[in-house]
Structure 1
Amino acid sequence: MTTHLLRFDPDIGLVSQWMAAEGLAENEQTDDGYGWHALLCAAFGKADAPKPFRIVARRGRPVQLLAYSPFTSAELADRAAAFADPKAFSALGIAQLASRPMPLFAKERRLGFSLRARPVVRSDRDGDRAKSREIDAYVHARDKGDTREMAEIYLDWIDRKVQAGGAEIESLRLARLESVNIVRRAAPGAHGRPLRAIPGHSVAVVGNLRVADESRFAELIARGVGRHRAFGFGMLLLSPPEA
């Protein structure tokens, strides 16, 4: 299956209006990934909403939403034209949506990359995944007696995730580490499924990698790194390697 890189050029004013109307407006302590997730679902449906995705905001330049999807821009635009919330359609700028297919990177290919991730570990109670919970990777490591600094534990977590996805990291540096709440709906069965804030950390890194297994690496690009990939985390953005 071919993976496509998508670029949205959203209208931030309309995005803010849509999120506010849906009760999803963020604050300084809360990540806005859930709002973008809800907006993409309103445009394409939960099954077809692109993921992983990344919001790219650079000083003096319009905000972009980049994402990976098995669908082309034309296929997604047709889907949205038939079923999307009209305001979500306009807010995301779907009429100008662009895409290109991702190549299959050969073994030994060196690439630069950037990544924003939510380092968490799943813990199953008594081996039962139905009773699993998420633990911050730093908290989990400290509970196991690991005395390393937070940044080192997070970088090690990313290294292991990328290695499991068919690539070897050659260099890795921390670009940003911040404590931020993420918003999720309460579990099914909760009255009205209200929104709840979950504390944790967001980690942004940049570095170089070398492809070790082209098939597994292609799957990693399409799937993303770690969890919360439908909420703005885990998208591996590639570039020429740094010198």
Structure 2
Amino acid sequence: MARRQPTGRRRPPARGTAMHMIELPLDAAALTRFAWHQGHAAKQGYSDEDFGYAAHAWLAATLGELAPRPFRLQETRRGLRLLGYALQPAQHLAEHARTFALPAALAVCDWDTAASKEMPTTWHVGQRLGFEVRACPVSRGERERDLYLVEVDEAKASGREPANRSEVYGTWLDRQFGQNEAAKAELITLAGFRRVRSLRQSRAGQDHRHHGVERPDALFTGELRVLDPDVFASLLARGIGRHRAFGFGMLLLRPPGRGGT
């Protein structure tokens, strides 16, 4: 059987279409074995530190166009937990996987304990929501760069002190919410930051090669106010920023006024 390749971009759901939050418990060792046997592994000492590429490849091979996107991986005491937004409930995804997935791919997830809930289909102008999002704040010039490092270089060139990382990333996130007037961020906190080395695949003809890429990994919490309900619904389904297919950009909602992660 030919190996299924990760799928491309997916259109956001049509207005009023139900969206489901999916929770899939994953076995980290089984996920690593699947990625290795499918050829999604580095050969020059690079590692997929956040399992982003492995999860991306597994979702594509197991669920195809039904795969949750955006998604986020979280470590738990029992292993990995994948949260994501999908157009079908967990039961439908489990049936699809049991019918079509290869045995090694099926074994990555405990489908019996997979869960889901239907998200609201309508939002309201002025509605306040708490949020948490893991995002990758990078520039989109000739080559991708950490936005904070861009700020440092620009400040040095102009002889001024650079803004701090929280301010640079917070301004970027505020712009993401403001695109097409989806929402207005009223509070943004950089709750965590690290630089993570992720695995990516490049193609040269028919040759598929893997390489490691280091990127900023920022965890934000805060509160927002909905400006345009339809645009906000599209933003929620699409996700925030770049590399959404690899575990970045899923906007998790919580009641306003609730802090912490």
Cα separation, 2, equivalents of 1:112 and 1:28: 33
Query: Which residue of structure 1 aligns with residue 167 of structure 2?
Result: 152
Is the 1:184–1:198 contact (alpha carbons within 8 Å) kept by the matching residues of 2?
yes
Structure 2: runs of 5+ lacking an equivalent: 1-16
The answer to whether the 8 A contact 2:48-2:54 is kept is no
1:70: which partner in 2? 87
Taking the aligned partners of 2:103 and 2:73, their CA distance within structure 1 comes to: 21
- State whether structure 2 residue 124 is matched by structure 1 residue 114: no
The amino acid of 1:11's aligned partner reads: D
- Residues 1:50 and 2:65 are matched in the alignment: no
Tell me how far apart the structure 2 counterparts of residues 109 and 182 of structure 1 sit (CA, whole Å).
Answer: 36
Partner of 1:128: none
Looking at structure 2, the residues matched to 12 and 32 of structure 1 have their Cα atoms a distance apart, in angstroms, of 8
In the other structure, the counterpart of 1:88 is 105
Gaps (5+ residues) in structure 1?
A: 124-131
- Alpha-carbon offset, residue 9 of structure 1: 1.5
Match of 1:11 among 27, 49, 58: 27
Offset, 1:97? 2.5
User: Secondary structure of the equivalent of 2:140?
Assistant: strand
Deviation at 1:139, TM superposition (A): 3.2
Moved more, 215-224 or 98-107: 98-107
Greater shift in the superposed pair: 139-148 or 204-213: 139-148
What is the distance in 2 between the residues matched to 1:39 and 1:19? Answer: 7
By how many angstroms is 1:3 displaced?
1.6
- The one-letter code of the counterpart of 2:147 is A
Label 1:148 to 1:190 Cα distance change in 2 as closer, same or farther (>3 A). farther
Q: Distance in 1 between matches of 2:240 and 2:132?
A: 11
Is residue 207 of structure 1 aligned with residue 245 of structure 2?
no
Which secondary structure does the structure 1 equivalent of 2:49 belong to? coil
**Residue in 1 aligned with 2:245?**
230
Q: Which shows bigger deviation, 214-223 or 136-145?
A: 136-145
Aligned residue for 1:233, secondary structure, equals coil
Partner Cα separation in structure 2 for residue 93 and residue 105 of structure 1: 33
Structure 1 residue 98 corresponds to structure 2 residue 115: yes
* Alpha carbons of structure 1 residues 218 and 134: separation in structure 2 relative to 1, 3 Å: same
Q: Aligned to 1:197, which of 212, 218, 225? A: 212
Q: How far does residue 242 in structure 1 lie from its aligned partner after superposition?
A: 1.8
| CA separation of 1:109 and 1:201: change in aligned 2, threshold 3 A | same
145-154 or 233-242: bigger deviation: 145-154
Name the TM-score, length of structure 2 as normaliser. Answer: 0.79
Contact conserved, 1:30 with 1:197, CA < 8 A, in 2? no
SS at match of 1:9: strand
- Deviation per residue, 1:180-204 (Å, 9 max, x gap): 1221101x32562211111221000
Determine helix, strand or coil for the equivalent of 1:198: strand
Q: How many residues align?
A: 232
Following superposition, the deviation at residue 102 of structure 1 comes to: 0.9
Do structure 1's residue 134 and structure 2's residue 144 form an aligned pair?
yes
Report the equivalent of 1:127.
none
Q: Does structure 1 residue 34 correspond to structure 2 residue 44? A: no
Tell me the alpha carbon deviations over residues 95-124 of structure 1, each in whole angstroms, 9 at most, x when there is no partner.
Answer: 43222221022121111111100111212x
Indicate conservation of the 8 Å contact 1:227/1:234, yes or no.
yes
Measure how far apart 1:144 and its partner are.
4.3
Cα root mean square deviation, aligned: 2.4
Code of the residue aligned with 2:207 in structure 1: it is G
Please say if residues 130 and 223 of structure 2, whose CA atoms lie closer than 8 Å, have aligned partners that are also in contact.
Answer: yes
